[in-house]
A and B are shown apart, each in its own frame.
Chain A
Amino acid sequence: MSSQNDLLNSMKEQIGLMQDRLVGMEARIDGLLEAAPEPVAAVVSDGSMGLTLFVFALAIFLGVELITKVPSQLHTPLMSGSNAISGITIVGAVLTLQNLPEGSPLVPIIGFLAVATASVNVVGGYLVTDRMLGMFKSKKEDK
């Protein structure tokens, strides 16, 4: 009988110890959670830096090759047309308004301004280029 009680008592003791440990672990996890950074937002890039740098280098070379042979009469439309392309930053601007972090009211305002200014660039750039190019007429078309 006594041996059975001893066994039960020791089991109870063990459970108590385990309980203490679990509580300690819980506290430690809480601590870790607090210390850990917010989950990294979707906009932040991962480690594939090498590949993107490669793409960047190729695109620069491609741009140089594309532009070298442009006649001077097209310089203005080329400039305003490529300027409209640089409005591609609108994609970045839109992405800043995705999954907004809590508690920073400034981010949506900055994002809104980014979308607005990029839209000026895109819409204005393409329209003005088109308007200009519409004026370039060949003699043949005239007659």
Chain B
Amino acid sequence: MQSFAYIVASILFILGLKRLGSAATARQGNLLSAVGMLLALVATLIDSGFSWGWILAGMVIGGAIGGYAAKKVEMTGMPEMVALFNGSGGIASLLVGWASSTPGTTLTPAVSIPLFLAVLIGGVTFTGSVVAYLKLSEKIDGKPVMFKGQQILNIIILAALLLCGVLYVINSGGIGNPWLILAVLLSFAFGVMAVIPIGGADMPVVIALLNSYSGLAACAAGFIINNTVLIVSGSLVGASGIILTGIMCKAMNRSLGNVLFSGFGSASSSAGKAVEGEAKPISADDTYYILEAASSVTFVPGYGMAVAQAQHAVKELGALLEENGCEVNFAIHPVAGRMPGHMNVLLAEADVPYEQLVEPDDVNPNMAATDVAIVIGANDVVNPAARTDESSPLYGMPIINVDMAKTCIVLKRSLRPGYAGVENPLFFCENTRMLLGDAKASVQSLVAQFKED
């Protein structure tokens, strides 16, 4: 009965994930997987011998916290939220592993090895996610933290973890096993060390990777208790997280190792060729005249749009342009923002229909025929040096070719280089105009001018 329910739950998870892959069925897919979760939980609870007090207290308290956070979070705060949920899954798997190390039992290696792995991966996921959360919510500086001997320290921690693992498996059992407790602390330390050298713009990769880890931790917990539903769903999540990580790395033309260990944009990496020329500023009035005459406009949003909370104003401008007989779309780079799909969520919140959200490969071929490309708080993903300058650290990264549009208007706070510290020759192009100032205020003044007529 129970194993039958677990099989059905696993099938629901698989169908749910499949349906999450298409916009029309995604919501239904999420619901299916939630039903699977409920089924697996109920099937587990029909057994006897539970300490109901502890279970109910845990579910009520945890469920209330999770539910409250999910209802209250702003869409701009979504990357932090996902990081925190990842972290809570990680620590849960660590605790499951720890509590399973029951005193007085002799654990076979088939149990003690996954138990150790659940603790290790769960711990890394937990502190890694917490550091990612702190960086994303700007409670700590988002810049990469690098120091001398960092790699050596990492290797020492890893070696110590390996040693703890061997000693734990040999002397298994007991929640007070000193090697297990040491491993918990070391995995916490390793999670922190793994995420501090990674900068804000590389966060999409980290979030996707931590997502994968939280699945693998659950999978390891499944091996401890020999429970197939945990193993199946944990490895599904682990695999999907790895795929997503790969997509993010490919969108930046970098290897995973490079993202994790290089501290991109830190002082050691070159800033590419110095760019000569002068940026040409433009007023909101002149921008309005250009837009009014345009028959096709492509918006390219970036993290700056999220910071300025400009998505609603941008949507309004897009709608007014459409009324004006202009063709409007939003070109979204896979790594724009701080998590995979960040811009899509923000624009969806502002009611932009998803047909208008397009990928770089779909807009680049038509860019030369586009009248105006408006870049809102994006920088590195539109840097033409990625195409032309072999000495640039961005060289080879697929970008959105806004410099090829007839006119390119860049909304930017100042002329400083972007996150990666790389000069952007786009600002000095013949057909580029800079609309300096807060992105939201600039877009709102454009909207106001359209409404006046």
Chain A residues proximal to chain B, CB less than 8 Å? 37-38, 40-41, 43-49, 52, 55-56, 59-64, 66-101, 103-104, 106-108, 110-139, 142
Contact = CB atoms under 8 A, between A and B. Distances in A.
B152 interface: no
The binding surface of chain A is classed by DSSP as helix
Contacts of B221: 89, 92
Contacts of B231: 52, 55-56, 59
A76 to B, nearest CB: 4
Contacts of A126: 30, 33-34, 37
Given A81-B33, A127-B67, A93 B89 contact: no
Given A78-B244, A101-B104, A126-B37, A83 B85 contact: yes
15 contacts: A44-B224, A56-B235, A75-B334, A81-B29, A82-B236, A89-B93, A91-B44, A94-B41, A96-B95, A98-B51, A107-B102, A110-B95, A115-B92, A117-B88, A136-B354
B244 A111 contact: no
A61 B349 CA distance: 34
A68 B111 CA distance: 32
A80 B85 contact: yes
B325 to A, nearest CB: 17
B88 A118 contact: yes
Contact of A74 (B26, B57, B89): B26
B376 interface: no
A100 B103 CA distance: 11
B86 A44 contact: no
B363 interface: no
B78 A93 contact: no
Given A126-B33, A128-B70, A128-B81, 16 more contacts: A40-B105, A55-B228, A62-B239, A64-B240, A78-B341, A81-B16, A92-B93, A111-B58, A112-B55, A112-B58, A113-B58, A119-B62, A121-B88, A136-B27, A138-B354, A142-B351
